[in-house]
Structure 1
Amino acid sequence: MAAAGIDLSQVPAMAPPAGQISNFEDPYNRGPAYIVVAAVFMGLATFFVSIRLWARLVVQQSPWWDDAVCVLALLCQATYCGLNIWLCLHGVGKHMWDVHALSLLPLIEPARVMAAVTEPAIGFTKLALMLFYYRIFSRHFVTKLGIFAGLAIILPLYTTLFFLFVFLDTTATTSTNKAMAVLNVVSDFYILVLPLPAVLGLNLPAKKKAGLVALFSTGFFACIMSIVGAVYRFQFANNGADFTFGLLNVILVNTIECSVGIICACLPLFPAVLSHTALGQSADWFVLTLRSIRERLLSSRSRVASINEVHASHNNQFYHETVYPAKNDSCYSILLALYNWLLHPLSVFPGPKLSAASRLPYAWRLWQGQLHENVKQLHDIYGPVVRIAPDELSFNVNSAWNAIYCGGPSNKGFPKHNAYRNAQTFESLFDAPDDQHTRLRRLLKNDFFSLRAARRQEHMVQVYADRLIAQLRAHHCHKSGGCMTGKTRPPPADMRQWYNFATFDLIGHITLSEDFGCLEGQAYHPWILMVLTHFKLSALVMCSRFFPPLSTVISRLAPRRLMRLQNTFIQLITDKVDRRLGRRMPPGQQDFVSIALREGPGDYDEHQQHILQDDSGSDTCQARDIWVSDNRETSGGSQTPSTDTVERLNKGELEANCILLLLAGSETIATSLLSATHLLCEHADAMRVLVAEIHAAAPTESHITFTNTTMNMPYLNAVLRETHRLCPPLANGPARVVGDSGAVIAGWRIPPGTTVGVTQYAANRCSANFTRPEDFLPERWLSPEQAEKYGYAADHQQQFVDDSREVCRPFSTGGRDCLGQNLAWVEFRIMLARMIWNFELDVCPRREKNEHDAWGIGGSKTKKNIRFSAFRKWSDLKAFMLWQKESYFVWLRERHQ
């Protein structure tokens, strides 16, 4: 009778343990968490199956049984998750003592159905994976045998478990649950290692094999989940009293495991969809890179495998179904990054992993102008050879110079990398192919770039040095003996501008017998301003060449102003060359044009007129799309050979080399002069020694000649060499590409196609090459006798005995070294010596006030609140093609003679 009064709706399904009470109102419930997890993983699985079907039915149009099995696995998994969600909404996830006794009974039958559906969901997933392996590795006997064994053993076992769950009583399924837990773990690991025989059969080093195994091990997460699931199944089978709470652990792990398996079976087909869209229409260049992956996977199976045999092997199917379709999407990027990091032939070289995986870090630092400093830091960490990009190595040792830049036809070393050629698309000495370069070099070297020819230009160097000093004395110089303070002092001189003015005017006269009027007008010619912006533009162009699809985007998004700038740049040079070709040179004078055209008595007028009028037979430099085009037309390559017996440059070659000479022959010298001035101003001791030497060797200014500065001023030459060491005109060395037979560089075996180079900035500041590499110490370049003459103790000089001085090669080396280096030495020595002879220089302190107006810098009355200072460290500057120099203001005072 007492039982008749019990309210069964308030009776828990299980008595609470000691210390616990039933909570029917707000119990602890993990059911909602499962619903969220199931929704996420089922959504992902559905998405990837949809992508798989689209790839097979629409893109590849080659559906197979593994696709149908994958759909069946998804349907079973959806049914399984749906049943579990219903169970969670009706009590699963709570403790038994928080569930009404009446609510438990309706859960029994759905739980039995859920347990039965588990087997086909997991079984179909494993079947889809094995069928996928069969499509890839069906030609590999061991792997094929393993697939058949898996199909013959695993599938019957899952089928048996399914019928046991259907027909056995609930109380008799404990052993079945344990058997299923063991089967899940064993089968997952079996499928995981199934492709290993095929992979290990590849002819690869152990490290590369391990990396390739990692690519096939994306299902390892599912194996981990199956182990966790086995633990929960055993716990649930041995202690299932708290049925509703313990069951959630099992269904949660099963849901994740099965969903991950479905995703793994579909992931290789995901890239094919994107390759079928507009994103994949202009990316054939990716195939060239991916070919190395395919050949690495396939040709390594046999040491004598040819490319045709590779295409016939079974792994070719893997390439076309997994990697090749990925050429335009994130999956491609991930696969390629893994390959570059783990399997690439350069993976044995030291360097940061991110740089090994992608060229993006390299391109970003190049665009930021910090590549030189970054490479130096990498060499400091990793040593003499560093992998700075997936296919590029940087060296900082002397032996690498000759190995890379010497040898081969005409001693030119390895060929240049296309991406590192001049950003303009015309050909000059800088970027002409080797055969064309040999001809151009032969035509120009002896008559214009030899030491004898450079000394013939000494008179013009002296003329423009006179003009520079006269302008500085007139506008910025404080008279000797006065105090360099007070409001009446002359304004400081921005030596960056003045050196550029002088070198641009000088090289303009040497090249075209017409300067730009910079010194006279105390301002940049508009063309020069375009030149100074050209180098950063070149860096952007170079970055885009590393990513060809990106170059198309950049060409469309780039401001039209940049393209107009290029057109104007080319047109100005063309006009200047035409104007020069229309006039005679005075008797006894020569410039670059007259030498390039072999002008001489009797043929001057005839050849001049021929060059000007022959528009159809010569290639004039035309403004082309520098962003996209990388197929270069040889200037004059199709021109009909001249009937003249004297070989000359055609007009296109003349314009291209005039542009090169105006760019390289001005900015590099200005950079060297500014860096030397900066270093001397920062090191008073070196300045004092240099001043004493110059005045001792040159009692009057007229004694400052090329011969005198070369023969009688060893400390001046030491200053120049130390300047080139710390501030090389080209911070990043020219890159070359190793030939088809590979090479040995600095003791390292380098595979074919590798981009290599000596980074001058890193080599010159390496502690393994130089003692106190960051310090400005000109005395390191002096002989013991010279050092003793200038008061340096033998103990002091002893520290430089092991310096690798040969590693400092500011003008490169080999058959493509800088032809203008003789002229550069003439300018550098004479201009710097005369500046030091005439002026005392003091660095201007940092200012940001309106003092610009009082000083009248540049003649502008609008320059207000502009930073006015001199940079403190050269290493703080950015470097693109050349250095991006900042203003360097100094006070000038006429030196007391």
Structure 2
Amino acid sequence: MAVSDFARRLSGAANDASLSRSLVILVTILLTRWVIRGIYRVYFHPLSRFPGPKLWAFTRTPQLLAIWKGRLHEEAVRLHSRYGDVVRISPDELSFSSPDAWRDIYGHAPKMTRGKPPPKHWERYGRPINGVQNLIGTPTDREHAQMRKIFSPAFSDRALKQQEPLFLRYADKLVGVLRERLAEDPSRKFEMVRMYNFTTFDVMGDLTFGESLHMLDNAQYDPWVSIMFASVRVATRISIFLRYPIIAWMFKRVIPRSLEKKQMDHFQHSVDRVTKRLEKGRSSEGVDLWDLILDQKEGHGLSRAQMDSNSSLFMVAGTETTASLLSGLTYLLLKNPTTMEKLVEELRATFASEADMSLEAIAALPYLNACIKEALRLYPPVAPGLPHLTPREGSTICGEYVPPGITVGAPHYAMYRSEKLFKDPHAFIPNRWLGDEKYADDQRNAVQPFSVGSRDCLGRNMAYHEMRLIMTKVLYNFDMELCPESEDWINQRTYILWDKKPLMVTLKDVRAS
């Protein structure tokens, strides 16, 4: 019996030793493969001729770690400052900071000497929960042009004129809410990121669904909006792992049903609101998006699923980005009191009363426009570059031939803070947009926060009008002061969108004084 037990133990030890050796061999093989592949990437890969840190060419880890931390926008500034206009930021990705990249990657590129323009890198763009592509996600140029034709009238100058009373109503409501709370407590601190978000979401809710989200009324985020904000960072971090096919395959099979249900419930909120809006028929005011879309023959070509998908898109694209710019502009003005004083003087000298304000009159204010452009340069609502993928023919970008299957992009934040493109690139100087000779050599065409080409932002004019109006109303009625806890507000992380901190200010009612 003792001999038998000894034999079994000996056999077990041998099996354990064999398993250990097998694991060591497997790890050694994998590690050797990783090192050999990394050496190939650094020295022999088709991108090896492009400058950049060797570690970033060896492995994706540094780039993905920067994304995880929300610091890729800062790393892009550092890398372009050191390596130049084109930088290899991962084994198969290039970042371009030359203004020509807008034309060659995103715009109407001329006939390339070699290759074709790179389309969107569709694997990097999430699909709507109902699986139906929206205005941003239409895969072919023909489909995109057809859908854009349907929506264009709703964002035209004529439409904006019809929508003007709606914009004015919510801008006045923001002022009224601020004034009411200030009267209750003159020493009150206001969190302006929230106030701007409340306003832009209420506006877009009315435009998209025919009714406000009532966030200004309730002084709190609608649950639908809260879920959206909470998901941005999580979704960005999950996307890191989904870049690996095996992990993506495993993730799709282990994702909790409860999470899928939450996603569907969130999307269903938009579906229900669209249903309610369509059941109302044409509104008496005739100002929301569906009135303007369905009034045209082409608008009836939208399927119900396309309506749902696009309504969800508009509620994201037309809200948080506008509120981000307003928050950034407010902070930059408060950190530059001379500039703030000059802008306030322009606003209060131009309008004898708020009754004189209109979208058209406000759009004609030169210093206000310069301040907004400069804020878009220093604090673009979308900081990273949107990824495109070179086709099988490759692409010629900024004079460089890029082989097939390479991710390419132009990072807004890094390009706009380039010392090669702008004098005093980190300073808030609106005069650079007003012909100041000191900044005559600035390459202002580098600033394209709404992108370029056939897929540029359709709501660009609407966004400008809304930003100008809200900023004008606030600064016309209140003097503002930055609270000490928000001195370093602009030092933020990015997860596609800015992960904004509270922007605390105190207000003084000009009318009361």
Measure how far apart 1:436 and its partner are. Answer: 2.2
Task: Determine the structure 1 residue equivalent to 2:120.
Answer: 416
Root-mean-square deviation (Å): 2.8
Q: How does 1:147-162 map to 2 (within 5 A)?
A: none
Question: How far apart are the structure 1 equivalents of 2:346 and 2:425?
Answer: 25
Q: How many aligned positions are there?
A: 491
Q: Is the 8 A contact 1:694 1:833 kept in 2?
A: yes
- Equivalent of 2:165, from 459, 470, 474? 459
Question: How far apart are the structure 2 equivalents of 1:657 and 1:422?
Answer: 14
In the alignment, residue 158 of structure 2 is paired with which amino acid? Answer: R
Task: Determine the structure 1 residue equivalent to 2:13.
Answer: none
Q: Is the 8 A contact 2:376 2:449 kept in 1?
A: yes
1:359 is aligned to 2:60 = yes
Measure how far apart 1:331 and its partner are. Answer: 4.0
Task: Determine the structure 2 residue equivalent to 1:877.
Answer: 492
Question: How far apart are the structure 2 equivalents of 1:443 and 1:470?
Answer: 36
| Unaligned segments of structure 1, at least 5 residues | 1-45, 55-262, 275-325, 479-487, 601-643, 784-796, 847-869
Q: Is the 8 A contact 1:355 1:389 kept in 2?
A: yes
When residues 455 and 545 of structure 1 are mapped into structure 2, their CA distance, relative to the original with a 3 A threshold, is: farther
Sequence identity of aligned pairs in percent?
32
Q: How does 1:333-348 map to 2 (within 5 A)?
A: 333-348=34-49
Question: How far apart are the structure 2 equivalents of 1:347 and 1:477?
Answer: 64
1:443 is aligned to 2:147 = no
When residues 491 and 559 of structure 1 are mapped into structure 2, their CA distance, relative to the original with a 3 A threshold, is: farther
When residues 555 and 331 of structure 1 are mapped into structure 2, their CA distance, relative to the original with a 3 A threshold, is: farther
- Equivalent of 1:745, from 382, 397, 401? 397
Question: How far apart are the structure 1 equivalents of 2:75 and 2:63?
Answer: 9
| Unaligned segments of structure 2, at least 5 residues | 1-16
Task: Determine the structure 2 residue equivalent to 1:253.
Answer: none
Measure how far apart 1:804 and its partner are. Answer: 0.5
1:125-153: CA deviation from partner (whole Å, max 9, x where unpaired): xxxxxxxxxxxxxxxxxxxxxxxxxxxxx
Question: How far apart are the structure 2 equivalents of 1:727 and 1:777?
Answer: 13
Structure 1: which 4+ aligned runs deviate by more than 6 Å?
A: 46-50, 408-412
| DSSP 3-state at the match of 1:407 | coil
Q: Is the 8 A contact 1:420 1:734 kept in 2?
A: no
In the alignment, residue 62 of structure 2 is paired with which amino acid? Answer: P
Q: How does 1:168-179 map to 2 (within 5 A)?
A: none
1:497 is aligned to 2:191 = no
Task: Determine the structure 1 residue equivalent to 2:85.
Answer: 384
When residues 645 and 656 of structure 1 are mapped into structure 2, their CA distance, relative to the original with a 3 A threshold, is: closer
1:837 is aligned to 2:452 = no
Q: Is the 8 A contact 2:117 2:395 kept in 1?
A: no
Q: Is the 8 A contact 1:511 1:591 kept in 2?
A: yes
1:509 is aligned to 2:124 = no
Question: How far apart are the structure 1 equivalents of 2:237 and 2:127?
Answer: 9
Measure how far apart 1:555 and its partner are. Answer: 4.6
Question: How far apart are the structure 1 equivalents of 2:111 and 2:469?
Answer: 33
Task: Determine the structure 2 residue equivalent to 1:817.
Answer: 456
Q: How does 1:251-330 map to 2 (within 5 A)?
A: 329-330=30-31
Measure how far apart 1:406 and its partner are. Answer: 1.8
Question: How far apart are the structure 2 equivalents of 1:350 and 1:587?
Answer: 60
When residues 47 and 356 of structure 1 are mapped into structure 2, their CA distance, relative to the original with a 3 A threshold, is: farther
Measure how far apart 1:810 and its partner are. Answer: 0.6
Question: How far apart are the structure 2 equivalents of 1:812 and 1:725?
Answer: 13
| DSSP 3-state at the match of 1:892 | strand
In the alignment, residue 56 of structure 2 is paired with which amino acid? Answer: S
1:687 is aligned to 2:348 = no
When residues 580 and 646 of structure 1 are mapped into structure 2, their CA distance, relative to the original with a 3 A threshold, is: closer
| DSSP 3-state at the match of 1:515 | coil
In the alignment, residue 877 of structure 1 is paired with which amino acid? Answer: Q
Question: How far apart are the structure 2 equivalents of 1:455 and 1:337?
Answer: 57
Measure how far apart 1:358 and its partner are. Answer: 1.9
Question: How far apart are the structure 2 equivalents of 1:559 and 1:351?
Answer: 40
1:729 is aligned to 2:436 = no
Q: Is the 8 A contact 2:50 2:87 kept in 1?
A: yes
Task: Determine the structure 1 residue equivalent to 2:50.
Answer: 349
Measure how far apart 1:703 and its partner are. Answer: 2.1
Task: Determine the structure 1 residue equivalent to 2:505.
Answer: 890
Measure how far apart 1:505 and its partner are. Answer: 0.4
Q: Which stretch of structure 1 is more off in the superposition, 575-584 or 550-559?
A: 550-559
1:570 is aligned to 2:267 = yes
Task: Determine the structure 1 residue equivalent to 2:7.
Answer: none
Task: Determine the structure 1 residue equivalent to 2:5.
Answer: none
Measure how far apart 1:360 and its partner are. Answer: 2.3
Measure how far apart 1:844 and its partner are. Answer: 1.6
In the alignment, residue 452 of structure 1 is paired with which amino acid? Answer: R
Task: Determine the structure 1 residue equivalent to 2:445.
Answer: 806
1:172-216: CA deviation from partner (whole Å, max 9, x where unpaired): xxxxxxxxxxxxxxxxxxxxxxxxxxxxxxxxxxxxxxxxxxxxx
Question: How far apart are the structure 2 equivalents of 1:573 and 1:456?
Answer: 24
| DSSP 3-state at the match of 2:319 | helix
TM-score (structure 1 length as normaliser): 0.52
Larger radius of gyration: 1
TM-score (structure 2 length as normaliser): 0.89
When residues 646 and 835 of structure 1 are mapped into structure 2, their CA distance, relative to the original with a 3 A threshold, is: closer
In the alignment, residue 105 of structure 2 is paired with which amino acid? Answer: I
